[in-house]
Structure 1
Amino acid sequence: ELDDNILTKLDVIYVTRIQKERFPDPQEYEKVKGTYTVDSNTLRKAKPDVSVMHPMPRMQEISHSIDNTKNAIYFKQAAYGKELRAALLALVLNENPI
């Protein structure tokens, strides 16, 4: 659960999905799958300029109600992903030194 005191100090909320495949007991997954959700209530408690990021694809961990807020940068993050990975790969392979 997100602590309200911590939310007021964060610049970025990086959200990932709860990974069903990591739970040996499916019932345990069912207990927690909806408990960690970033929504408009979360944003009200956070800094006004907090950024919400997610590696995509998302499930229920981010409410669609915040998609059009200035805080939701996960679509931009996803759009830049391919170019960023290509640049990092080129840098690591020293094919295009910066």
Structure 2
Amino acid sequence: MMYRNFAIAIVLAAPIIVMGVQSFLPARHQPAAEPQAAAPAPAPEPVAPQPVAPPPTPVAPPADDSGTFGQPMADAGQPMVTASPDVAPTPATGFTPGGAPAGSPNAEP
């Protein structure tokens, strides 16, 4: 709680501290640009034209996917198979109803 109050105080006080310090520090003086006689700018040298690369040619999509764009997948909506169908799930071992190990918080008195 103390850290939270300290954080709130810092967030609220920081802008006030910054404005106070800026009001006491002397402002930086930018040297005024003295008007000088406008000298004519030298003419830019002509630039040699750069060679332009040819535009890339479009790549055709593979022929095997061309008819299925935007169509649903063949196995969409089917449940995922996590084990082969000929393997039976193994039952959980070590659990007996009402038989928590002695000393555990779930043990019956």
- TM-score grouping bracket, smaller chain normalisation: under 0.3
Asked which structure has the greater CA Rg, the reply is 2
Q: TM-score, normalised by structure 1?
A: 0.17
Query: Which gives a bigger RCO, structure 1 or 2 (Cα 8 Å, sep 6+)?
Result: 1
Q: TM-score, normalised by structure 2?
A: 0.16
